[in-house]
Each structure stands twice: as C-alpha cells, then as structure tokens.
Structure 1
Amino acid sequence: MTAPERPPQESPVEPGPLFATFASAYPFGLDPYQRDACAHVEAGQGVLVAAPTGAGKTVVGEFAVFCALATGRKCFYTTPIKALSNQKYHDLAERHGTDRVGLLTGDTSINSEAPVVVMTTEVLRNMIYAGSATLANLGYVVMDEVHYLADRFRGAVWEEVIIGLAPSVQVVSLSATVSNAEEFGAWLDEVRGGVAIVVSERRPVPLFQHVMAGRRIHDLFADEAPTAFTGEGSAATLRADVNPELTRLAKEESRFVRDDSRRQRGRGQRDRIERNAAGRGQRGPQLVPRRDGAVEKLEAEGLLPAIYFIFSRAGCDQAVEQLLRSGIRLTSGQERAQLTALADAAAEGLGRDDLAALGFSTFKEALQRGVAAHHAGMLPAFKECVEEGFVRGLVKVVFATETLALGINMPARSVVLEKLVKFNGEAHVDITPGEYTQLTGRAGRRGIDVEGHAVVLWHRNMDPRQVAGLASRRTYPLRSSFSPTYNMAVNMVARVGRQKARGLLEQSFAQFQSDAGVVGLARAIARKTEAVGALWADAACEQGDFEEYARIRAEIAALEAAAARSRKSDRRAEAISALLAVQPGDIISVPAGRHEGWAVVIDPGVGRDRNQPAPVVMTEQRQVKKLSLTDFPSPPVVAARMRVPKHFDARQAKDRRNLAAAFHSRLATIDTSVERYQPAARDAQVSAEVARLRDTMRDHPCHDCPDREAHARTAEKALRTERDIADLRRQSERRTNTIATRFDKICTVLAALGYLSEDAETVTDAGRLLARIYSELDLVAAECIRAGVFDELTAPELAAVISALTYEARGGDQRRPARMPTRSAEIAQTMVRRIWREVSLMERDHRLDDGREPDIGFAEATYLWAGGAALGDLLEATELTAGDFVRWMRMVIDLVGQVADAAGPGPVRDRAREAIRMLRRGVVDAAWNEDD
C-alpha cells in the first residue's frame, strides 16, 4: 500500500436539490469550495475538506446533518473535545430542535437515540467496539478537526473510527489546512472508497502581517498586501519583500548592541548592573513594546478584540496583572454589567473559600475591564466564561497559550505573538511555519471584519526576514500517531477476529505513510547501488582484485573494533555489577575521574534505573560526592569495610568530620596497594582470526601495488556506501508491515498473560475485562484488578492508588517528595509497581516499548479531596493550578469508573463507585460538563 505520486483528480459534481434547499437558508452565498464539497456529499461520496481557520468548513458538516434528516438516516457529529461537542450540540439543537439532536460525551447523555447525535470521537470508537445498537441506520459521520489524529496521546482514536465504521457510512472529514491534504485524502479514499478531496487555501477575510516596534505598527511586507497564497495545493508560498524600515531597525539595534557591549567592558560591574536595571544610559532604540503599551496601541488602531499569544501560563497571568496595575479599561458600562453577570454565573455553586483560592476577585475585576487569560491551568468554568465573553465581543484582549489555537471558535480582529520561540517541554525552540499559520489563523472575523491582522511584537535580536518566512510558507504536514494498544487489540480481536484485525490495522494512515516512505527508500537504495558500482570501478587495480583485498582489510578492522567494544562493554557490565553489590561502609577504589583514589560508600545510590548506579561516597579529600559510571571505566575493588553511622547527615559539618577521621584511620590499617582491575586478554579465537587475515592480506597481489592507498581510499568510499545501503534496507524492512508486526507482538504478550487464547485467536474473560480499560497503562490496570491489588482498599485509598496509573507530572509540577497517604495504599502501590515492572520486562522481551512509570505525585491530593479537604489547601500543597487539579481529578474519576466497569459486581466496583461520588464535588463537579 503506497501513497499515489499525484493527487487524485476529482470529477466535477453539480449540487442537487437537497443542497439548493439547504443553501437557501443562508443569508449569504456559499463559497465555491463549500458548494463542491456539499455536492460530493449529496452524490453519496465521502469527502475531506481542508480549509483555513474561519473559512466556514463546518457548513459541509451541517449539510451532512441536513441530508441525514432529509433522507431518514442518522448522522453522528464527532469532535475531539467536550467543549466543542457542547458548543456544536447547542448550535444544531437551536437549528433543528432538541427533539432531533442528542449529545454523548462519556459522562453526559442527552437524547442519545436522536437522528443527530453530537459526541466526542472516543465515544464513537467505544460504540464501534461494543457493536452498539445505536449504530443502526447510521448514514453519515462528520469528523470535525480530523487533523487531531496527529495528537500523540489521542490521535489513534480517529484512525480506529475511520477504519472501523461500516462501509455504508459516508465520512465527512473537516481539517485545518495541512500541506499533505492530498496524501491524507488518498488514504481515506483507499480505506473508505469514493472519498473526494476539496482543498481551499483562500481565507474569507484577508490577513495583513505587521511588526510592532516600540509604539509603532509596521507592515511586514513592503507592498502592504495581505497574505495571499498562489499556486497549487497547500504547499504554495508567497514571495514578497520585507519592509525596508524593519530591516533598518534591525541593523540599528544590532549596531547599538555591539557599541554598548564595547562601552560596558570598560566600566565597573556595579554601574553596569544599576544602569541595566533602571534602563538608563541606553542611547539605542527602545523597540520592545510593553504589554500595556501594546494593548493601548491596538485599541488606538481599532485592532481589538485581540488574542495575545504568550507561550507560558504564568506569562498570561502576569500580563493580566500588568494591565490591571496600569489601569487600562476597555469596556463600557453596559459591557461591564454583562461581564459581571457572566463572571457570577461562572462562580455559581462555588463556596467563598473556593473562590478565594481560585483568585476569583482578580479574575472578575480583569474581566470587567475587558481583559482575561486563557490557558489549561484555569478552572474550566472560568475558561468558558472568557470564551463566551470574547465571542460576544465583550472581552477585548485575551492573553492565551497556544492551546487556544486548537480549541473552540474564538476569532478575533487581530492576533498578537509576543515571541517566536516556545518551550516544547525539553528546550526553547522556534515556532514552525505551520504553528504560525495555526496561531494567526484566528485573525479576521467572517461577516464582521473586512480584514484580519497578525502582529508580531519586536524582541531582542529580531530578524524581520524570519517573520516573513513564517508568514509566507504553508508547511503543516499531517503525521499519523497511530499505534496499536492492548485495549485496541482485545477489542478488535473480539469484534472481527485476529486475522481480520491485523488486516484492518495494515490499512491505517500510519502504515500508509510508512509504505510511502519505503518507496523513497527504494529509490535511495537504487541510487547508492549505482554509485557503489562506479566506485569499485574507480578502485580497480592492475595487479589483482582490489575489491577482494579491500574487503580483507575491512574485515580485520571490523574484528579489532568489535573486540575493543566487547572489552569496553564487559568492563562496563562488570562495573555495574560491582556497584550494585556495594554496601554502606565499603571502602572502594575509584579508578578514574576527578575523585580517583579511595572512598567510603555512604549510599550505594541504586535507584529505579539499575543500569545507572550513582553511589554517594566520601573521598580521601574528605568531600562527599555522588559518583557516576564515568568514574568507573573499570569495576571498583572493595578493599575493606567500616561503619557509617545510620543517621549520617552530609549537610552537618560535625558528621562529615567524624566520618572523615574514621575513614582515614581505617585506610591506615589496610593495604591500599591491592591489585586494581586488569582487563582480560583478548579472546584467543579473535586474535587467531585477525592473524590469519593479516597473513592473507600480505600475500595478496594488491598489497605491493604502489597506488595501494589511493585505491584504498576509493574502496573505503564504496564500503561506506554499501553500509549506507544496508542501513536503508533495514529501515525499509522495519517500515514494512510495522503496525501489523507491533499488533502481533502485543497479541503474543496478551496470550502469554491469558487475555487471549493460547493461539491468540479469541478473547478470554480476562480480555473482556481489559476491553473496558482505555488508560495509557491499560494492561497494568487490568493486571492489578486480576491480582486483587484493589480488593482491601477503602474508597479514598482506591482512588489514590489508581491515580498513579493516570497522573503524569509536568516539568516543575512536583516540588516536594510524593508519598502515599496510608500504609494500606503504600502496600497496594508497591504491588502496582511490581506489576508494572513485570509487564515492562515482558514488553522488553518482545521488543515493545514499555509503558511509562506509575506516578504517585497526585495520590495524596486525591485521597485528601475524597476526604473533603478544602480546595485552597490542596492547591497550596500540590502547587498545581486549579485547571490542572480539576483536569487530573477528572482523569482519575474516569479511570476509577473504568476499573468499576471492568471489575464487575463485587466490593471493588462498589468502592470505586463510592470513590467517584466522593471525588465529584465542588469545582470538580461544577466542571464536569466542561472541557479540560
């Protein structure tokens, strides 16, 4: 299965009578691409619609709803998040009546047997696996925001649905503009059959690009034209010259920075620090705008409402506080009254203490002034309040993280980017052209604004050409994140059998893209093979077969290198083994590094990763240091033992002095000339083989060629190219049937653990248990149920232990040691970790990536919340934001509910349901129907 080399050509289809009736309800004419897409739907085809944000592609989804109602069939309208589902439900219910529209989001069920049901994609996936009767008479499925299938954590659900739906169902896929829409559409056509591709690059509202430097807003491009893409498909680019005024400012700033650097080298450090802190003494341009100044300028230029992107939750909150301190007020008295009502509605049901913990008074004051933050750390009810206020034109400036760009419909007149760098969880990286397009795409409200504006704020060392490059390119490829899971495997085997399941998985977009890559690898292999032939021809020698001679030399080098690696590997393995065996009080040799010599072990330092022991020692120089494997290129020798006090504290000078005295006293009594580690001699067989090959090489006729080394250099290029070819062949083999191969490995693990029959062809009772658990650690959770880990726990303890299977700390979330709340929970958690380790070892044996480690960082908070603890106390103790606290609590509740369903009738199910009742209170219960 490979992607076509050219996008499929669609035959023109004329709209029919259903479209004429549908379109007549709109007060404006529909765009050509909307007409084309709807015509394909009416003709009985599936369709992929890829268009910019705000271009109105949901019209095509609404036409599918209209067709279903007109023809007496059902339509499911799916969205990636609950907030979008709620919003779409209200839109469709208002248009078609509440009796004809339902809502299913996992925890909310309204009129689920209606002819039109809005739902999250996970709900539809679960219905397909369960063979739900609700699927009867299903004619259309709308997959809104289908580009979410690239999401690392949830993207596989979209592919499961697309593959699993009955062939009779028309799939209407709505996507943001992606640069490989044709590839994605070709896959849809191959899997579903009869899928048309409709791509629109045209923005309904033209977008102008600007840079704000100081208090001025400059056009980014010299011709002052809006961003306009020309050419074919979504890979088009814009050619335009950067505004020379911006280029001049960049040069002036750069020159001033160099000059200022030279001046400061001759001045005192204190003067330099004071001058920089006060901002005085700088004669260069002041180009970086203040946040309050930027907002005032946007207001003066008529560019509000604006979404102001700051790639930091804390930065968004700080920006709101800065505007409050500056006294900015962007609303009228009537608008303030409406915003007050919205804020009070968001706070309904929350107690005074909870509101104080949530900083509600500050939130409300800022909202009344038309200013708000929007990020995942906020309480869902507050986020929804901001969204509604913004859509109604009451909130004028929203300081947002990039997650808003992927959220619900919140268009603005302008979009501001404070910086072009973001933190990706590991490092600060430049945003991509695709991300720039996604962020700025919200500028320009259709039917309200005649034009939209993207404004990049000047920052130090800014290059206007970089901004122009981001604004000029469409590179937003859709990459599949699909990978089989244990839950997916048992569900698919139960539904269609193993062989058919394997075949269905081979139809995934991930495999489709992988196969397309194999075509490219085959071409590279062919090119390199041709190059190898030419190189061997160039290396030809008149005295004999130089290829044969070169291969003898290469074999000698390979054997010697392998022997050296083997010796190093043996030494490392022996060093790890020796370090794992040391005990507190052992006096060991440190063979290398800054602390070479003798040391006494204080703590062996064997953590979770037993391949990286890091002993804490006291050296001969009386320093307490943590060592690593780099200090042990060879194994340590234990020369003697001594006593280390049980309560030794390295932070106490007295303890260090006493231990050092005892250590040196003990050193004086032992023979420190004890023989250190000596590596073993090389393997005799390897030595003999190398000697034989050297004799053969010296006897070869090419050995005495005067041009031998010149021939050898060309031959080495040929050999390197051959190694490249071998690597490409391995890549090709890995990519072929990669999804099905992983599925086979998963089935082998499941059969070994009893979730599938011995031949892995049918699902057992244990497998049906696993089929109800959709957690990332699904197999670990199922094994815990089967092992009775949860049997003796109270409801709060059960929730606390289960939290470790779903919680994952963000960088910086956890600033104090985590612990389990009770002895019973600690014992249960020890069993959870043992099961996780056993599963991980089995996964490694079968060459599967092991699941992430359970994280107990949210366990104590879960336990205390179940026991009635106050929100403010928990937020202070966990140092989580309210939004994160609610999101994780909802995920815990979700997994506890899955455990209840999987466990079946009995004490575990009863206590799990009791735990859910205890956890669903206060802000958690208030947020239950909101998106996280």
Structure 2
Amino acid sequence: MVSSASPSPAERYSAAKLRSEYQSLSAFQETYPFELDEFQMDACQAVEKGHGVLVCAPTGAGKTVVGEFAVHLAQEYEGKCFYTTPIKALSNQKYHDLVAAYGTEKVGLLTGDTVINPDASVVVMTTEVLRNMIYASSPALKNLRYVVMDEVHYLADRFRGPVWEEIIIHLPQSVAVISLSATVSNAEEFGDWLKSVRGSTEVVVSEERPVPLWQHMMVGNVLFDVFDHHGNLNPDLRQKAKRKLEQGERYRGRGKKRRSFADRAQIVANLDREALLPAIYFIFSRVGCDAAVEECVHSDLKLTTPEERSQIMALAEERTAHIESDDLQAVGYWRWMDGLARGVAAHHAGLLPVFKETVEELFLRGLIKVVFATETLALGINMPARTVVLERLVKYDGESHVMLTPGQYTQLTGRAGRRGIDVEGHAVTIWSEEVHPRDVAGLASKRTYPLNSSFAPSYNMAVNLIGTAGRKRAAEVLSSSFAQFQTDAAAVHISEQARRAEAKADAVVADLECDRGDFLSYYELSQELAKAEKQAQKRNRGLRRDEAIHTLNNLRPGDIIWMSSGKRAGWAVFIDRGLGRSGSEPRPLLLTASGWAGKVAGASLQSGVEKHGWMKLPKRFNHRDPRQRRDLTASLREQTKYLDTPKRRRRTRSQEDPEVDRLREQLRSHPCHGCPQTASHTSIAARWFLLNKDAKVSRERLQKRSSSLDRQFQAVCAVLEEFDYLSGDAVTDSGQLLRRIFCESDLLVARCLEEGVWEGLQPAELAAVASAVIYESRFEEDEWLVAIPSGRIADVMEVTQRRWDAIHGCEKRNNVALTSKPQMGLVWPMYRWARGEPLAQALKAADGPYPMPGGDFVRWARRTIDLLHQVGDAAKAIDTSGSRDLANKAFAAVDLVRRGVVADL
C-alpha cells in the first residue's frame, strides 16, 4: 500500500541529490508512468557514471529499461547506440518499440537480409550483424558509445553463442557494454570476466520477481498447491497423487492397459473456471501443440466473446492479406483461424512467422486466452501470461529424453504473472504417472542456472582474427575468452580433486597385504585380461557384421532375406543396394513384412542376414507411396507364408585371440593366483583401482582443459594451411574470401566459390544448391531416398559433395569436426519455390515421411537468402567474369526466393 503522507525532509533531500547527481536518469525516469525498481536505478546510475553493466533479473522484471536508458544517453550525447538481440523476432519487436519512442528517422534495423535506416543513431540488429561489422571495420562503428546485448545468456548456445564473446572481446574500449541476462547462478563469475576484458563493469543482480509466483499441480480436475504454509511438500497433494498411482496399478493388475494422456480441453476449462487464464501451455512437441488446438476445437471449447472473435478475425485477415490464398490453404490457414476464433492457438517453429507474430499480438491484446507452445517461446518473446502450464517435465534434447533442469523450469515458468495486471502468477504442472509431486517441488525450489561458455574457434573466426591482428594476437584473444576464464577457474578445483583421489588411493593400498606376493599387479593383470576378452568379442562381432555386409553386397533387387535380430527383424525384400561413397558400407533399402520401408545400416545387421528366395518387384517402385508399399508387403507375406522361419543362423566361428591366451596363462602362473583371501584382497584392490583411475582422469582433464582452446585453434589453422587459406601468420587471398562467409559450412562455401564450382548455375538452381549447405533435416536422411533435380543441379551437388569429402578427410586428420555434410532434403523444395511454383508443391517435395511445415520452410528459405547475399558479395570480390556472373545470379536468386510467405513486410 502506498502511503499518502508527504515525503519527509530527509526523503526530499535524497531525491534532490539524486536529481542533481544523475540528471540524465532523472529526465529519463520522467518518461515512465511508474517508479523504477531499485535494481533498475542501480544499473542506470552505473551507466550514467560511464560504466558497463551486467544486469541479471527474472523474466518480466524490466531489464530492458536499462538498455533503453543507454539509448536515451546516446541521443543526449549525440552518439550511437546499437541494440543487439539473439534472434530476428526479438530485433523486429525491439525496433517497433524504439520507433514508437523515438520515431522512424532515429531508429534503424539490420537483420542480415533486412536493412532499414542503417545510418540511424539507434540501430537494432542481430549479434551476427554486429560481429561482421567489427571484422569489416565498418564506418558505422564511428561514434558508437553504447552496445546493449539483450539476452546475453545466449552465449551458452553451442551454435551461436561464440558470436557474443567475439563482440565483447573486439568492441573498442570506448564503447560501454550493457549486458542484460536472465537470472544466472554464476553472475559474479561472468561479471568478473567482463571486467577483465571490458574494464569497469558493475554487476547488478535481482532475484525478486515483480509478481509473486505460486506453484501448483493439477491431479485430475483438482488444483493443489505444491507447498504448504511451511514451505514443505503439500501432504494433500502427495496423498492424492499416491491414490491416483495406486488406482492405475490396480487397473493394470486386472490385465487392462491404461493409457496415460492429458485431456487438454478439460484442463483449459478447469483453468478458465479457476480464473487462471490467459495461459501459456507448454508441450515439448510441435505435433502435440497442433493436436492440442484440434482437441479444443473438437470439444467445442469457446473462450472468446462475439466481439473478441470479430477483433481476432479482423486482425488475422489484415496480417495475412499479402499471402496468396493457395499458399494459405497449404499451411492450414482455416484450421488456424478456427482455433483463433475460439481463443486458442499454437506457437512453434513449424508455423509461418506471420502466424506466430499474429498469435503474439493477439495474446498481448488479451484476445487469445491459451497458447500451446514449445519451449522456444521461453526465449525472449514478450508474451507474459497469468498462468504457465507444463504438461511434462521431460523434453527431447536432440539425442534423448531428459528431465528439465531447474534453470529450464525457471525460464519456462518465468512468464507467469503480468506486471501491472496480475497480483500473482501461477505455474501449473499436470500430474501423470511419471511426474511425481516431489519432482515439481525440487525444480521449483532451486534456482540453479549456470552460464557456461560455448566459445570455440571456427574457420571464419580464425581468418578474421589473424587477418585483423596476426596469429599471436589471435591466440591472445582466445586466451581472453570467457571459455578460457572458466577453464582457468575450474583448473584449481580439478587439481584438488586429483590430489584428494591420490591421497585416498595411498591410504587404501596401505591396507592391502598378501603373503603370496604383489596383489595389485595380480588385480591389474585380471583387469587387462577382461579388457582383452572384451576387445576379442568386439572383433568377433565385427567379423559377423562383415559377413552380413558381404551378403548384402551380393544381393539383387527382389531377393527375400531373413534378418535374425534388431527392430526390423524378420522377413524383408531387398529393393536397392544404397551404396554410398567409395569405402562406405551399404545402407540397403528394404521393405519388411510388417510394411516398413527404409534404409538399414549394415552395422545394425551384425547378428546376421540370410537369403531365402526371390520375388519380382514392380517397375519404378516408390517406397514412399503408401499404396505401392501396401501392395508389395502383401506379396512379400504371400511369398514367405510357406517358408520355414530360420531358428538359428550359421555364424562365423569366433577366432581365438593369442593375447587373451597369453594373459590367461600369466594370471594362472601369478603367485597370488589361488590365494584364499582373494575376495577381500580384490575388494581393496578394486577400491584402489577406482581411486587411482579417478586421479588419472582428473589429471588428464586438467591437461586437456588447460590447452583445449589452443589445440582447437591450432587444428583449425592446420586445416586452413592445408587448403592454402593461411600461410604462416598471413591470410592468403583465398583466406580473404573466407572472411566474407559466415555460416556453419563456411570453408565448404569458400572452396566452392574459389574453384568456380557453382558458376554457370541459373538463379533458381543456385538457390537450391545453396540450401544444401545450410539445411539440417529433422529426420535421418539415410532412412529416406532424398531425390534432387537431375541435370546441372545433380552434377554440381556431386562436385560439392567431393569438396566436402576432402574437407572432412582433412578435419579427421586434424581431429576437428566443423563442417557438416551437405543435406539434400531442401534442394527440391527450394528449386520449385525459386522457380515460382506454389508453396504446396514446394512443401510436398521435402524430405522425410511428411510434407515440410510452412514455418520450417520459411526459416530455411530466409537462411538461404542470407547465404546467397554472402555468396554474391564474396563472388564480386573474386572479380572474374565467371564470379561476376555468379554474383548477379546470387542476387537474382535472392529476389526469387524472397516472395510470398518468405518476404518480410
């Protein structure tokens, strides 16, 4: 409650002193309708004093106010301020915010393929754009006084994070860096690094949420608080969850299968009844988000009034008016509109950007009541809600399904509670048999969110560092990175770990005495034997695999085979050999009797493959056609109906290993062999062995960490020298070309440009080829036959592939892996789109078992545009007739791809 009493004399004096000492801040504060929080005041005061600042505060706390104050100071001092963000959507959002405050003449936007008023005094940009400007010594850096790095915790991102560190290291010391971060547990460590490379930097940390957050769990249709009044796990919740679990076990005990799923429409209705909308409902699956909207629509859930529906329809139609009706049809426009009208929507990377932006605006206006979203929504987009719902606490991290970390949980639930609207926010986790209340309590009670560097040298980084300051200075830059800073700090801890393990090992071995001899040597010999036996078994498995591969290499289309194990075990018909490049093992295309069709790795068939007959295949069989697949499956089943199922396959006889025999004989002849106290001695020796191993591992970790960045840098330089991009401490002419290419496959692109591989392509063909070096399929490409256009595109892709082979071989020799293999799944869609075909036709041509989502295509198309810009600029610099033509074709390709749903409006 705000007191109505007049300020005391002391308070009036303090306010007057503050106004006189921080005149700019006082003027800035008057532009806001609310008083700044203490952390905002502390940070802004540091900026006005001329310091850099690191601000760490929860989502929604108002960190951007500090960045906006830097913009204010730049205007006041007639200097420049660059406002950087990690993603284009945030840049667009911040650009519009600043335009509203300062007008279009004073604000610019740079996001790679979008250039608006680049000479303005305030320019919003993605971090990659600023990094490129620094390396190019752009004139735009003149009179730059402030750089705001919004969402600076992005430097932990393993793909794009290094860009942040490059900028922080290379910016002139005259520039004040204002770093805005989510709450991290090692803010002081990051702040210390900033001080070491930027000079005077203040660290301002606030862990106080502007709106209190209540933790809940929904069990059935009942909402429980996670914690009781004493901060302990709510006993009522614990009992209810226990009864639900027991009920499920009894259900299964009667021989029935219990399907565990969330009734999302009912959950939303429950939230509406409890006055907990609007809500963001996190589902870690695009398909799940779309399915949730469909469930709400089919349940006839309506969360909007007639007036709200009219406003929703009007805005959605306005935002999509520039898109052709056929393209809208191809991306599910009417299904999307049906959900919007009811107040529900999905938000994920598979949606068209204009769809996502419309959902964001409608949600901010309070017209959309529930958004079903993937975790990408947690990354900075301004969409606060009254409630955040988590359907599961497990997500797929790209390799496996893993439990959310406390930091991820905090990031996701941080959007709950709208400042100035809600008096409290709510985080709701949906109960299921795999989600225990104590798991929620554990995540909600911890605030561990460490910021770890992902900095590592790349080819482009190396030639730019060396080209700018020489090889010695480049090594110094690496040593000043946050990655090395953290390594040096960790080295002390690792060294202490090794010392403690060695001391414990010495203490353990003192208790080991065997009157027959040296039992430690006996134990080590037994471990050596176990290792040799394991290696022998592995070699024998390799022999069986080789036998299977030999069988596969001698099959012909139509051969019926039996696979004795694995997830594809059973009868199958051999369709195509699927041989890769020279030296690679086959990945045959098979159709199984269960109806599955796809490629199988030879390595997965080590348990055996046997041929048992032959059948005729239809001409031009397409395994991706459901009808053809169904017909051939029926024929295969008919052919194998009367064949005997092999019970045991003939195996290659395991070869005896002389080393195993030698070690066995040594063990038998050791003096300690047969000791009556072998069991107790072995227990002590095993303990010593583990402690000794721990100490050795710690020492090795220490050595590797201490020189890991330098080793990587030297390996990168070795690859560059082999391809003549570096010559000692100098960047060659070829290396100067590489300096202009900023993508994960920078070296491959530079090689293709330098050798004229892409010259002669028409614009649409060039767009298709360029897409292959940046595309990353969501599916395992080897499982599908990825078709590409024949003719010139196929020829150029074959040569591009050979260039990658050479780079890959060189990288293997130097123990680095930076260049991804070109992927063909976007070639057909990009070619068809660049030729002017409808979006629906382009999406159907994509790789994988399903058409490509429209949002994915737009995202990859825009990345292709970005690369085509780089290709055009780099080709112009080569300045031959062929390269000049390539440059013209690259810029023409940009115009072909940037149309319809891909265009920025």
Where on the TM-score scale, by shorter chain, does this alignment land: which range? Answer: 0.7 to 0.9
Compared CA separation, residues 357 and 559, structure 1 to 2 (3 A): closer
Residue 843 of structure 1: how far off its partner (Å): 0.7
- Judged with a 3 Å threshold, the aligned counterparts in structure 2 of structure 1 residues 869 and 138 are, in CA distance, closer, same or farther, namely same
Q: Deviations over 1:19-55 (max 9, x none)?
A: 2222232222111111111122122221111101110
Indicate the residue corresponding to 2:695 in structure 1.
Answer: 725
- Corresponding position of 1:481: 454
Letter of the structure 2 residue corresponding to residue 150 of structure 1 = A
Q: Which amino acid aligns with 2:886?
A: V
Paired residue type of 2:866: D
**CA contact 1:288–1:460 (8 Å) conserved in 2:** no
Equivalent pair of 1:102/1:114 in contact (CA under 8 Å): yes
1:553 aligns with 2:522: yes
TM-score (norm 2): 0.84
Shift of the 590–627 alpha-carbon distance from structure 1 to 2, 3 Å rule, reads: farther
State the shift of 1:745 in Å: 0.5
Is 1:129 the counterpart of 2:135 in the alignment? Answer: yes
Return closer, same or farther for 1:556/1:320 CA change in 2, 3 Å cut-off.
closer
Q: 831, 852, 858: which one pairs with 1:880?
A: 852
How far residue 76 of structure 1 moved from its aligned partner, in angstroms, is 1.0
Match of 2:124 in 1: 118
Aligned residue among 328, 349, 354 for 1:376? 349
> Residue in 2 aligned with 1:682?
658
State yes or no: 1:527 paired with 2:518: no
| Structure 2: gaps spanning 5 or more residues | 1-16, 592-596, 622-628, 643-649, 877-882
* Aligned residue in 2 for 1:392: 365
Give the secondary-structure state (helix, strand or coil) at the position aligned to 2:726: coil
Give the 5 Å matches for 1:68-147. Answer: 68-147=74-153
Structure 1 residue aligned with 2:708: 738
Contact 2:545 2:607 in 1 (8 A): no
| 1:444 aligned onto 2:417 | yes
CA distance in 1, matches of 2:577, 2:333: 49
Change (3 A) 1:911 1:38: same
1:841 to 775, 784, 809: 809
Aligned to 1:466: 439
Distance across 1 between alignment mates of 2:167 and 2:508: 51
- Deviation string for 1:672-727 (max 9, x for gaps)? xx9977847737xx9889989988x65xxx89998687556534533442233222
Q: Find the partner of 2:720 among 750, 756, 767.
A: 750
Name the CA distance, whole Å, in 2 between partners of 1:132 and 1:814: 43
1:100–1:292 CA distance, 2 compared to 1 (3 A): same
Residue 269 of structure 1: aligned partner: none
The equivalent residue for 2:251 is 260
Question: What is the TM-score of this pair, normalised by structure 1?
Answer: 0.82
| 1:282 counterpart residue number | none
1:204 Cα offset (Å): 0.9
Residues 121-178 of structure 1, C-alpha deviations (whole Å, 9 max, x = no match): 1110101111111111222111001111122221111111111111222111101112
Q: Structure 2 residue aligned with 1:189, among 188, 192, 195?
A: 195
SS at 2:426's partner residue?
strand
The question of whether the paired residues in 2 share the 8 Å contact of 1:506 and 1:737 is answered with no
**Which letter does structure 1 place at the counterpart of 2:373?**
A
CA, structure 1 residues 615+79, in 2 after alignment: closer, same or farther (shift >3 Å)? closer
Secondary structure, counterpart of 1:857 in structure 2: coil
Counterpart-to-counterpart distance in 1, 2:686 and 2:777: 49
Taking the aligned partners of 1:615 and 1:160, their CA distance within structure 2 comes to: 45
Q: Equivalents in 1 of 2:499, 2:795: separation in Å?
A: 59
What's 1:306 paired with? 279
Aligned pair in 2 of structure 1 residues 251, 41: CA closer, same or farther (>3 Å)?
Answer: same
Query: Mean Cα displacement is larger for which, 96-105 or 744-753?
Result: 96-105
Moved more, 894-903 or 855-864: 894-903
Letter in 2 for 1:908: L
CA contact (8 A) 2:52 2:202 kept: yes
| Alpha-carbon distance in structure 2 between the residues aligned to 1:49 and 1:388 | 27
Task: Identify the residue that residue 645 of structure 2 maps to in structure 1.
Answer: none
> Per the alignment, in what secondary structure is the counterpart of residue 103 of structure 1?
strand
Max Rg structure? 1
The aligned amino acid for 2:714 is D
Matching residue of 1:864: 832
Quick check: 143-152 or 892-901, which moved more? 892-901
Distance 2:215 2:765 in 1: 55
Letter in 1 for 2:151: E
C-alpha displacement at 1:573, in angstroms?
6.7
Alpha-carbon deviation of 1:862? 0.8
1:603 and 1:506, CA in 2 relative to 1: closer, same or farther beyond 3 A? same
Query: Which residue matches 2:740?
Result: 772
Judge which range, 577-586 or 457-466, deviates more: 577-586
Residue-by-residue CA offset, 1:79-114 (whole Å, 9 max, x unaligned): 111221122122222223333222211222222222
2:180 is equivalent to residue 174 of structure 1:
yes
Question: Compared with structure 1, are the counterparts of its residues 452 and 909 closer, same or farther at alpha carbon in structure 2 (3 Å cutoff)?
Answer: same
Of 570-579 and 18-27, deviating more is: 570-579
Q: Deviations over 1:634-656 (max 9, x none)?
A: 9x9x9x9x999999999589999
Q: 1:898 offset after TM fit, Å?
A: 1.7
Kindly state the Cα deviation for residue 503 of structure 1 after the two structures are TM-superposed.
1.2
* CA separation of 1:576 and 1:393: change in aligned 2, threshold 3 A: closer
- Of the three residues 488, 512, 520, the one matched with 1:515 is 488
Question: What's the offset of the Cα at 1:193?
Answer: 2.2
Equivalence for 2:863: 891
2:158–2:454 CA contact under 8 A, matched in 1:
yes
Deviates more, 1:95-104 or 1:708-717: 708-717
Residue 917 of structure 1: aligned partner: 895
State the one-letter code of the partner of 2:473: K
Unpaired runs of 5+ residues, structure 1, are: 1-12, 224-238, 266-271, 278-286, 619-623, 662-673
In structure 2, the CA distance between the partners of 1:900 and 1:245, relative to structure 1 (3 Å rule), is: same
Deviates more, 1:196-205 or 1:86-95: 86-95
Structure 1 counterpart of 2:376: 403
SS at match of 1:443: coil
Residue 7 of structure 2 corresponds to which residue in structure 1? none
Q: Structure 1 residues 847, 530: CA separation in 2 closer, same or farther (over 3 Å shift)?
A: same
Distance (whole Å) between structure 1 residues aligned to residue 603 and residue 371 of structure 2: 50
State how far apart, in whole Å, the 2-side matches of 1:566 and 1:821 are: 46
The change in CA–CA distance for 1:569 and 1:103 in structure 2 (over 3 A counts) is same
What secondary structure sits across from 1:804 in the alignment?
Answer: helix
Cα deviation per residue 1:514-535 (whole Å; 9 max; x = unaligned)? 3333222111111011112212
The answer to whether the 8 A contact 1:602-1:644 is kept is no
Letter matched to residue 116 of structure 2 = I
Write the distance in 1 (CA, Å) between the matches of 2:633 and 2:263.
Answer: 48
Q: CA deviation at 1:291?
A: 2.8
For residues 715 and 428 of structure 1, the distance between their equivalents in structure 2, rounded to whole angstroms, comes to 37
Of residues 451, 458, 465, the one that matches 1:492 is: 465
Structure 1 counterpart SS, 2:658? coil
Specify the alignment match of 1:424 in structure 2: 397
Name the residue aligned to 1:24.
Answer: 30
Aligned to 1:883, the other structure's residue is in SS state: helix
Show the counterpart of 1:901: 873
Checking the alignment, whether the CA contact within 8 Å between 1:584 and 1:604 is kept in structure 2 is: no
Match of 2:3 in 1: none
Whether 2:428 is the aligned partner of 1:455: answer: yes
Q: Pick closer, same or farther for the CA change 1:584–1:56 going to 2, 3 Å.
A: same
- Counterpart pick for 1:36 among 42, 67, 71: 42
User: Residue 750 of structure 2 aligns with which residue?
Assistant: 782
CA distance in 1 between counterparts of 2:79 and 2:51 reads 15
Q: 1:146-161 alignment to 2 at 5 Å? A: 146-161=152-167
Return 460-469 or 61-70, whichever deviates more.
Answer: 460-469
Q: Report the equivalent of 1:250.
A: 241
Deviation (angstroms), 1:775: 1.7
**Of 201-210 and 324-333, the range deviating more from structure 2:** 324-333
SS in 1 for 2:757: coil
1:587-630 deviation line (CA, Å, top 9, x unaligned)? 9x99998999xx99997775569576578999xxxxx9989558
Q: Deviations over 1:827-875 (max 9, x none)?
A: 2111122221221111111111253321101111111111111112333
Instruction: Find the partner of 2:57 among 33, 51, 54.
Output: 51
CA displacement, residues 773-816 of structure 1 (integer Å, 9 cap, x when unaligned): 12211111222222332123222222212211111111489996
Name the CA shift for 1:628/1:337 in 2 (closer, same or farther; >3 Å).
Answer: closer
